[in-house]
Amino acid sequence: MELLNTDTLEEAQRKLLEESKDLKLRTEVAELSGALGRICARDVAAGENIPPFSRSTVDGYAVRAEDTYGAGEAGPAFFSVAGSVGIEEQACVRSGPQTAVRVQTGSMIPEGATAVLMSEYAEEYAPGKLAAYRPVSEGENLMQTGEDLRQGDQVLRRGRRLTPADVGILAGLGIPSVEVWSLPAVTVISTGNELAGIDEPLSGGKIRDMNSYVLAADARRMGMQVRRTLRCRDDETEIRSAAAGALADSDIILLSGGSSKGQKDYTKQVFEALSHRVFTHGIALKPGKPTILAYERESRTILAGLPGHPMAAALVFQLLIGAWYRERTGAQKMLPYPAVLTENVSSNQGRETCLLVELLPGGEETGHRYRAVPVRAKSGSLSALSRAVGYVRIPRAREGMRRGEQVWVEVLE
Q: 340 to 399, contacts with a copy of itself by CB under 8 A? A: 359, 367-370, 377-386, 389
The answer to whether the CB of 318 falls within 8 A of the CB of 374 is: no
Residue closer to a copy of itself (CB basis): 148 or 327: 148
Burial of 83 (0-12, 13-18, 19+ CB in 10 A): middle
Of 144, 139, 184, 178, nearest to 161 by C-alpha is 178
- CA 189, 193, 194, 196 torsion: positive or negative? positive
Q: What's the number of CA atoms in the CB half-sphere (13 Å) around residue 22?
A: 6
Nearest approach, Cβ of residue 86 and a copy of itself (Å) = 8
Nearest approach, Cβ of residue 75 and a copy of itself (Å) = 25
- ∠ CA(10), CA(11), CA(16), 5° rounding? 100
Nearest approach, Cβ of residue 82 and a copy of itself (Å) = 17
Binding mask 166-205 for a copy of itself (x = CB under 8 A): xxxxxxxxxxx---------------xxx---xx--xxxx
- Pick the piece of the chain touching a copy of itself (CB under 8 A) from 130-138, 214-222, 235-243, 276-284: 214-222
Of 114, 98, 138, nearest to 62 by C-alpha is 114
- Beta-bridged to residue 79, according to DSSP, are 130
Q: Rounded distance, CA 351 to CA 105, Å?
A: 62
Of 216, 306, 321, 401, which one interacts with a copy of itself (CB under 8 A)?
A: 216
Footprint (CB under 8 A) of a copy of itself, residues 315-344? 335, 337-338
Q: In sequence order, which residues have a C-beta less than 8 Å from that of residue 47 and are 6 or more positions away?
A: 151, 173, 174, 175
Q: In sequence order, which residues have a C-beta less than 8 Å from that of residue 197 and are 6 or more positions away?
A: 208, 209, 231
Asked if 26 is part of the footprint of a copy of itself (rule: CB under 8 A), the reply reads no
Footprint (CB under 8 A) of a copy of itself, residues 110-149? 143, 147-149
Footprint (CB under 8 A) of a copy of itself, residues 43-102? 48, 50-53, 55, 57, 59, 85-91
Of 7, 19, 67, 234, which one interacts with a copy of itself (CB under 8 A)?
A: 234
Footprint (CB under 8 A) of a copy of itself, residues 239-298? 260, 262-264
Residue closer to a copy of itself (CB basis): 29 or 87: 87
Residue closer to a copy of itself (CB basis): 26 or 378: 378
Nearest approach, Cβ of residue 142 and a copy of itself (Å) = 9
Nearest approach, Cβ of residue 15 and a copy of itself (Å) = 25
Asked if 4 is part of the footprint of a copy of itself (rule: CB under 8 A), the reply reads no
**DSSP E strands, 112-176:** 115-118, 122-126, 129-132, 142-143, 154-156
Residue closer to a copy of itself (CB basis): 167 or 283: 167
The answer to whether the CB of 288 falls within 8 A of the CB of 301 is: no
Nearest approach, Cβ of residue 174 and a copy of itself (Å) = 6
The answer to whether the CB of 260 falls within 8 A of the CB of 290 is: yes
Q: In sequence order, which residues have a C-beta less than 8 Å from that of residue 90 and are 6 or more positions away?
A: 108
By CB under 8 A, how many residues form the interface with a copy of itself?
A: 99
Nearest approach, Cβ of residue 52 and a copy of itself (Å) = 5
Nearest approach, Cβ of residue 364 and a copy of itself (Å) = 9
Q: Rounded distance, CA 292 to CA 281, Å?
A: 5
